[in-house]
């Protein structure tokens, strides 16, 4: 029997709150991080796609990591940090800097985007990161952003690298590759769902949890749904999973994280729904629809924003 992976349960890739004039709002980020962990998230992801990382300055990225690390220390929860680059040498430098901090549990790293080096090049990339980065790695398999697909054999080979501890599976489907990986995962290797709408059936099939942007709202319910499936309570897990899938569909009606930010602002949890270009703020109708599905969210979302 394979050992339980270190990374399991619910991880929330936090948005980066801005003010109306698009300045970073670190106090709002700190509250959001604390609320999310208090509501049952196993850990946080900083500087993911949901964080609009591409629009952040180096100083802002450092602030985001510092704020999220403080929240994770307070809750004794792991912090995962996104490292997205198609330059292997630059990725190694970023990993070493994160490892030197001492408060980052792992890095979430996509297959090299845009340049599409192929599966052999992707394997070489992660081998170099594993050997020289000094930090555990969660592979981010998201073909519609990277432009390339990873097969089951390649993922299994990646999973045997000494520093690769899991994968965020966001391929848009539960397919033969998914089932092959679930059927014979490398020892201690975490399969974490990354397509929010199909998280429930993926965990039902054996995934260890998820990295779920939708879980900014109804965090406790997402954590409970994962726990229900993992302890074999299929009927309530199925009902809750279907309900949360409707929420996820509403939250992703427009480009991520625009609707999520709109809902968080409507709940008085962040000071503004603002996003940085090239993203545009979500429409009022999309936000209203998502807010309706967000009813029943954790109690900490109901207090006034300070």
Residue 185's pLDDT band (boundaries 50, 70, 90)? confident
To the nearest whole percent, how much of the chain has pLDDT over 90?
85
Could you identify the residue written with the tokens 């339980």? 4
What are the residues facing 168 on neighbouring strands? Answer: 140, 192
- The two tokens of residue 206 are 């054996």
Average pLDDT over residues 169-182: 90
Angle, helices 284-293 vs 234-251, to 10°: value is 170
pLDDT over threshold 80, residue 88: yes
**pLDDT, mean over the chain:** 94
With vertex at residue 96, the alpha carbon angle to CA 93 and CA 102, rounded to the nearest 5 degrees, is 150
pLDDT over threshold 60, residue 53: yes
- 140 is an active site residue: yes
**Residue spans of beta strands (DSSP E) within 205-266:** 209-211
44-48, 62-66, 175-179, 273-277 — which is least confidently predicted? 175-179
pLDDT of residue 296: 57
pLDDT over threshold 90, residue 26: yes
C-alpha span between 67 and 270 (Å, rounded): 15
Residue 229's pLDDT band (boundaries 50, 70, 90)? very high
- CB-based burial label for 207 (10 Å; 0-12, 13-18, 19+): buried
pLDDT over threshold 90, residue 2: no
pLDDT digits (tens, 9 = 90+) for 101-150: 999 999 999 999 889 999 999 999 999 999 999 999 999 999 988 988 89
Asked if 52 and 215 touch (Cβ cutoff 8 Å), the reply is no
C-alpha span between 24 and 302 (Å, rounded): 23
pLDDT over threshold 50, residue 300: no
Average pLDDT over residues 159-163: 94
pLDDT digits (tens, 9 = 90+) for 7-20: 999 999 999 999 99
Phi first, then psi, for residue 96 (nearest 5°) are: -65, -40
Q: Which of 11, 168, 261, 293 does the annotation list as catalytic?
A: 168
For residue 204, give every residue at least 6 positions away whose Cβ sits within 8 Å of its Cβ, in sequence order, or none: 229, 234, 237, 238, 241
Average pLDDT over residues 168-193: 90
Asked if 34 and 247 touch (Cβ cutoff 8 Å), the reply is no
pLDDT digits (tens, 9 = 90+) for 253-292: 999 999 999 999 999 999 999 999 999 999 999 999 999 9
- 293 is an active site residue: no
Q: Which of 11, 140, 261, 293 does the annotation list as catalytic?
A: 140
């Amino acid at each position: 029997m394979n050992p339980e992976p270190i990374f399991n349960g619910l991880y929330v890739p936090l948005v980066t709150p801005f003010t109306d004039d698009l300045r970073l709002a670190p106090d709002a980020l700190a509250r959001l991080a604390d609320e999310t962990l208090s509501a049952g998230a196993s850990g946080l992801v900083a500087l993911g796609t949901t964080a609009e990382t591409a629009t952040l300055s180096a100083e802002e990225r450092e602030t985001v990591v510092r704020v999220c690390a403080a929240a994770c220390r307070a809750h004794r929860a792991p912090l995962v940090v996104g490292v997205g680059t198609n330059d292997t040498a630059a990725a190694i430098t970023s990993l070493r800097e994160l490892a030197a901090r001492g408060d980052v549990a792992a890095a979430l790293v996509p297959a090299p985007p845009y340049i599409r080096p192929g599966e052999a090049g992707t394997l070489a990339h992660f081998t170099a990161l594993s050997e020289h980065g000094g930090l555990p790695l969660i592979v981010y398999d998201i073909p519609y952003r990277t432009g390339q697909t990873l097969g089951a054999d390649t993922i299994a080979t990646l999973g045997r690298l000494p520093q690769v501890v899991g994968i965020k599976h966001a391929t848009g489907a539960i397919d033969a590759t998914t089932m092959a990986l679930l059927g014979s995962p490398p020892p201690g290797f975490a399969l974490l769902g990354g397509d929010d709408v199909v998280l429930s059936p993926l965990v039902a099939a054996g995934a260890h949890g998820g990295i779920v942007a939708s879980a900014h709202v109804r965090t406790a319910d997402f954590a409970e749904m994962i726990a229900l499936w993992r302890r074999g309570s299929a009927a309530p897990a199925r009902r809750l999973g279907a309900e949360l899938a409707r929420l996820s569909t509403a939250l992703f009606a427009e480009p991520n994280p625009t609707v999520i930010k709109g809902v968080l602002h409507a709940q008085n949890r962040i000071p503004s729904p603002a996003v940085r270009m090239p993203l545009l703020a979500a429409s009022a109708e999309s936000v209203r629809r998502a807010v309706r599905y967000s009813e029943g969210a954790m109690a900490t979302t109901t207090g006034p924003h300070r």
